[in-house]
Structure 1
Amino acid sequence: MTTHADRPRTDGVRSPATFWLYRFRWFGRLVIRRRYDVRVLHAERFPADGPVIVAANHIGVIDGPLLAIFAPRPVHAWTKIEMFKGLLGRFLSAVGQIPLDRFRSDPLAVKVALRTLRDGRVVGVFPEGTRGNGELDTYHRGAAYLALVTGAPVLPLTFIGSRESGGSSGSLPKKGARIHMVVGDPVRIDAVPWPRTPALVEKATLDLHRRMLAGIQAALAETGRALPGPLPTNDPALDPDEGP
């Protein structure tokens, strides 16, 4: 694995907070399970230690909280910077989530994620860049880049049931809904020394995209369920062209 002194350097970057995320996930699980039937399948595939990049599809507004709280290990996820305002923003910072500007290059967000991985922790990425049908119609390069820099395995994860068919991007499932989080097999990508060419990142991205699509199909077959389909036409989700 790389160190903080390797390029891009992360020895001068502040790590995300850990205390509240690591010690109070049990409380978050208790609260959420009072409303939803959350089931994590194949938790044994989640590496027990060391750096991990979780790459998940994104269908509902609660995917981020579910990832941070129910994954077998605490997850520091890239979270859109628009949410880091007021009380919600202070809460997200306190529980170690990483603000990300999705609409332009964000070197600080990348370095914070790299710092987290180099410290042996878990980073969460939603490669679609926004909520949608969860079928990975778009797939950004952030997960592949983080893996190429650090050598951390990429762990595909499929959300099913966190948004109902026809629901808006901000809608919640009905009380009692079953939500599946299906953990896929880790994808190993060897770290590549600086400089890392765009062609290399693109190649790794295409491979990850293909593996995640296969994982989604396997998860749907195993659970006998379907993804919610597209968002309503009057609720277009913004899909950033730039950013990880």
Structure 2
Amino acid sequence: MATSNEEAHRIAREQGVSGPLYRVVKLVATLVIRLLCGFTATGREHVPATGPVVIVPNHKSFWDPFFVAIVLRRPVHFMGKAEHFEGPLAKVFLRLGAFPVRRGASDAEAMETARAILRRGDALALFPEGTRVREEGLGTPKRGAARLAIEAGAPLVPATITGTEKRRWPLPRRVRIVFGTPVSVEGLAATPEDAATAIGAAWPQVSEEYTRWQNRPGVVAAGLAALGLGAWLGWRRRQR
């Protein structure tokens, strides 16, 4: 039986995560991903163990929410495309912390569900770029996540994800997540200006860590080697 959009939001607001189901799925997912993929996570101590918190990671892959969820000790809620909640697994997704959002327009229902999750004292992860950024580098962060954090009095925790770029299947390899220093929203108002100030304090941590990791010596050396190989192949073609 299909779950309506209204019913999905009601479940997300009133029931939230199913503890036993979440723990079982997280355990299985962690074992599978650790075996097939491998990942590291640092800075988890920056995510409060209790109380409302808004985590703001960069977004490169379908897999990003899974990695954020399995490395943290507490359940995390995510927005997901409304289309994912139209099938028979909708209630499973809802009890695992996901809830629907309609893309391409402002979704007041999704925003109210996000507020309900934070009022409940739960953790919410939102990708401030708004969608997956497929090209090189990161996108420009939007203010919505920061505004929700200000309304709830919740800290903003930046998170940098590397290793998931351009990979959907098979699983990405050597994924790395770094949780940065929380940004306090104390004293800020839920205005566009203050929301821009808050996300502007959090996002540089993501951008700088992402750039630093992409520019590490091993990647640079590999890039130079690839350029050298390309130049050599071009020279060989010209000699024929």
| TM-score tier after normalising by the smaller chain length | 0.7 to 0.9
CA–CA distance in 1 between the matches of 2:74 and 2:186?
A: 22
Identity among equivalent pairs (%):
30
Q: TM-score, normalised by structure 1?
A: 0.73
Evaluate the alpha carbon distance shift between residue 219 and residue 111 of structure 1 in structure 2; reply closer, same or farther with a 3 A threshold: farther
List runs of 5+ in structure 2 lacking aligned partners: 1-9, 221-240
Residue 99 of structure 1 deviates from its aligned partner by: 1.2
Partner secondary structure for residue 73 of structure 1: coil
- For the pair 1:182 / 2:178, whether they are aligned, the reply is yes
Structure number with higher helix proportion: 2
Deviates more, 1:202-211 or 1:40-49: 202-211
TM-score, L = length of structure 2: 0.74
8 Å Cα contact 1:41/1:181 also seen in 2: yes
Cα 1:29–1:215 shift into 2, 3 Å: same
Alignment of 1:1-244 (within 5 A): 13-19=13-19, 20-22=21-23, 24-132=25-133, 133=135, 135-163=137-165, 167=166, 170-173=168-171, 177-190=173-186, 192=188, 196-217=190-211
SS in 1 for 2:94: helix
Task: Please state whether the residue corresponding to 2:36 is helix, strand or coil.
Answer: coil
Shift of residue 63 of structure 1? Answer: 0.7
Q: What is the CA–CA distance in structure 2 between the aligned matches of 1:34 and 1:179, rounded to whole Å?
A: 13
Q: How far apart are residue 154 of structure 1 and its match? A: 0.8
Query: Comparing 182-191 with 198-207, which one deviates more in the overlay?
Result: 198-207
CA contact (8 A) 2:43 2:180 kept: yes
Deviations 1:87-141 (A, max 9, x none): 4434312312121123111122112111111211100101111112473322122
What is the rounded CA distance, in whole Å, between the counterparts of 1:73 and 1:131 in structure 2?
24
Aligned alpha-carbon RMSD (Å): 2.8
Amino acid at match of 1:147: A
Summarize the Cα distance change of 1:44–1:182 in structure 2 as closer, same or farther, 3 Å threshold. same
Give the aligned length: 208
